[in-house]
Structures are given as C-alpha cells and as structure tokens.
Structure 1
Amino acid sequence: VKADIEIFIDKSYINEEGLRIDLYKRIQQIQSEEELYSLQEEIEDRFGKMPKELSNLFLLALIKLKATKIGIKEMHISKNSIKIKPNTEEYLEKLKSKNFFVKPKKEEIVVLPSVPTDPFGLAISIITLLSS
C-alpha cells in the first residue's frame, strides 16, 4: 500500500531521531488492528495528540492490514484516485454496485471519487465493501 499523501513523524512532535526511526519500524511491523490501536494510544500518552501526518501514517498501516487480509496485492492512494490490484470481476461488480466510478485496466482497477473526499476514508470504504 502506497500513498501520495504526507505521512511522516515530524521533528517537532518527536525530536529524537532514534525514537522516530524506532517508531517507523514498530509501525511497519504491526500485525493486527489491536497492535496498531495500542501503539497509537502509547504514542499519544507519551507525546500528546498526534499531528495529521503521523495520524495518516497510522491510517496507512490500518489500510495495509485490511487490504492484505482480503487479498489486495497492491493499493496506491492519491488525492484523485485509488488504484487496486488485482483487477477481478468480483471487485469490479462490487464497486459498480455501490456506484463507485471505476476504470478497469488490464491489471488494476482505478477508482475515482465522484466528489472531493478524504482519500484514506475512501480507501477504507472500498476495502470494507470488497471484504463483504
């Protein structure tokens, strides 16, 4: 899962480089939603409310967990579209049934929002639909 949206740990939030690197590693190694929420809580208890860019990093980790669970091999999230691999007939039919604007390509499905929307929210909605 990749995103063209700012996701990072700002120096002003966690000043020490070693702690930031450790946190990136811990987020990358998360295996369950429970672990993810526990780490979020730990970070906010220790450093205070997370900036948007770090919240985005946790959202991306959540999306990766959910996408992997339902067999999505690749997902690319941008402000204007979401690309999903593999392109399967089942995925296409589910997306079309909920009036998502989709452009099937050879190996991927491109989902375009009908109105400006939060790309991470759209990605979670798509994964929820495809897992049903």
Structure 2
Amino acid sequence: MPVCPFCGSDRVYPLLETLRCKRCKYIWKTGAENLGRSTTCGPDNTSQKTGKRSDPIKTRLEKKLDHYLKRSKGKFCLATMTWQAGDISQELFRRYVKQCVKDRTLEEEKDGNGRMWYFRP
C-alpha cells in the first residue's frame, strides 16, 4: 500500500495514472522518478518537500503542539497565533488540538474577548 509523501497518510487511492491522498489532497504521479513532481498538487506547490517523512503525522503534530506551548510560555490561542505553511495544515492541527481537549491532555479556557486559550492541565 503506498503512503503519501506529503503527510505520511496511508489513505491513498489511484486515479488516472496518479496517486491521491484523502487526508491532505496531495496528488502525485505513479513511479519513483516522478515523486513530488506532479503538475497538480494539494497544499502548496512552491514549498513541497519530496520523499517520505521521517516521523508519522501524530509525532509531527505533537512536536508542533509542544513548539507552540513552549513559544507562548505554556498557553496559546489558535486565533492569535501566526501560522507558517509547512508539512501540517492549519485545519489538521486544529482537529488535533480539539482531540487533545477531548482526551484531556489539553485544557481550554475562554477569555473576556471570546478567544479560546489552550494549555496543559
């Protein structure tokens, strides 16, 4: 089973001599010589890295979460932080944060302006 070279997902399906990822919508041609050189691609055509990711998506999401917690002294807000385009989409990170709140590894708190702040319990 092929794995998406952009997000590492195994939810990949073939269509019209290309492989497509259901998670990040990345499209690439079949064959190792064309990996990452498709004319149509999902998230960002200019800053894509080719090849496989070394870490699975869950590990990269945890690293990103730890980065934001460390950068903002243990408490961050999704509405106020600046997002840099990279290997993880902002929507995927938002879903991960909501899942962490559901699993109680993160807590959320609403401030006076109606913004949600996330922090470790």
TM exceeding 0.5 = no
Greater percentage in helix: 1
Structure possessing the higher radius of gyration over alpha carbons: 2
> Higher RCO, 1 or 2 (CA under 8 Å, sep at least 6)?
1
User: TM-score, normalized by length of structure 1?
Assistant: 0.27
Greater percentage in strand: 2
